[in-house]
Amino acid sequence: MIKNRGPGTWTAIGVTAAAMVAAVGAATGGPALASPVGAVGPSAVDDRFATRPFSMLSKASSGFVTAENAGASPLVANRSLIGQWELFKLIDNDDGTTSFQARAGGGFVTAEDGGNAPLIANRTAIRLWEKFDLAAVPGDPGAFSLRSRANNKFVAFNSETGLLVASNTDTSSATTRFYRAAQPVTSVVTSRANDENVTVSPATSQLTATGGTATTRSEQFSLFDAGNGRYALRAASTKFFVSAENAGASPLVANRTAIGPWETFDLVTNDDNSISLRAIVNNQWVSSTSPNNTGPLIANSAGNAPFGRSPQRFAMVGFPRTQAAGLRSNANGGFVTRIFPDTRMIASGTTVTGPIGLRLTFTEAGTVTLVDTQNVPINGQAVPGGGIRLLHGNGDTSLAFRIVNHIDGTISLLCVNNGLYVGLASSGSGGDELVARSSTIGQTEKFGFIQLS
């Protein structure tokens, strides 16, 4: 929960107890894939889609790729919202290729008939047809292509059928280009006690403030909604949630596949813009330990010391510092844009890149400011009832936000100015005005986050 904001009534979002276990056999021409090993505690329910959700947006159709009919029908790129059918698990194979497993049905995506037929998510093992090369497209920031290993051709969107087929020999056409969505937005956490970044040990998965100024995946974390105004941290390097091990009696460790009491924390913003984390399982504050605050982080401090170099205080700064992105409402499917010639921000755009592009700039305080590609800021204006209207290049209030990730692949924007979530003023299909006025998270407060850089 955020300092100086009442608890309100919160809605727990998407933390399911459902296990998704796919039958993965020995694969001819590729590795036999075993399930990742995560420590099993009282909170560990195996839903690995929660730790690495992935969705794709077709540049040509501006639609999310879906495993149609829960994977029983070919993939199509025509959805405006992220749901269960639009979520995939990204799998890094030993030979450098990438495979995709659909959450709906649990099947692996295959280039059917050696690439001659549309892609479909119905395989139970990874072989040659289920392998792809995922690569950035030169000269098109944020875009990537998929080349099937079945026929060495690029996956393309068919505008007549909406289907995806590995049929193109190059990536010159927008039909072969996709954007990432549902990738958790990461931050770097720095200890105020010794000014070193918190890092995850590759050997033990424990957290220590010994990362120096490094910003590799070992030093990157994502803030997830844990319901009831509380949060969980997901480590980018292990792709697992951070746990107050042994109910807080042992050091923090990033090895849990789901969010439970041991993985749930209060997040408090201190007067100096640092943050502190309090473990819910034992009501103790996370603290760096000896020697010289370089020992493992552990939730065992009864208090949050009120001084700048406190071992209970951390900075949380987004990574990378500036990122181009598109936002798409999960309530009406509209892309966030502005009303012309008005300056109100609404969710009614039909393409991810226009008519204005958004850039997220992460501040030293760990919050996010929004500007367009010309650095025109998104400011605020108070509305009756305590809300703040989002305006493009207008308004009398500079706004700051925290990005909260959800395990369904969406994000929410928590407005730091009033401690309320940004949502649509109504849920009509025509696109709606963005206002920070909700203390709870529903579909109108959820957005697809499409990475454009």
| Sequence ranges of the domains in the chain | 48-181, 186-318, 320-451
Interatomic CA distance for residues 90 and 82, integer angstroms? 16
Fold of 48-181: Trefoil (Acidic Fibroblast Growth Factor, subunit A) (2.80.10)
Interatomic CA distance for residues 433 and 437, integer angstroms? 12
Burial 159-168 (b: 16+ CB within 10 A, else e): eeebbbbbbb
- Count Cβ atoms below 10 Å from residue 202 Cβ, excluding itself: 9
Q: What is the pTM for the complete model shown?
A: 0.76
Burial 407-427 (b: 16+ CB within 10 A, else e): bbbbbbbbbbebbbbbbbbee
pLDDT band for position 354 (cuts 50, 70, 90):
low
Residue for token pair 């009864």: 302
pLDDT at 152 over 50: yes
pLDDT band for position 323 (cuts 50, 70, 90):
confident
CATH class (in words) of the domain with range 320-451: mainly beta
**Considering the chain, what percentage of its residues have pLDDT values greater than 70?**
86
The mean of the pLDDT values for the chain is 83
- What is the model's pLDDT at position 190? 93
Same fold flag, 186-318 and 320-451? yes
Interatomic CA distance for residues 392 and 339, integer angstroms? 9
- What is the model's pLDDT at position 51? 53
Three-class SS of residue 218?
helix
> Which of 160-169, 235-244, 319-328 is modeled with the greatest confidence?
160-169
Fold of 186-318: Trefoil (Acidic Fibroblast Growth Factor, subunit A) (2.80.10)
Q: What would you measure as the largest C-alpha separation in the chain, in angstroms?
A: 65
Interatomic CA distance for residues 266 and 227, integer angstroms? 11
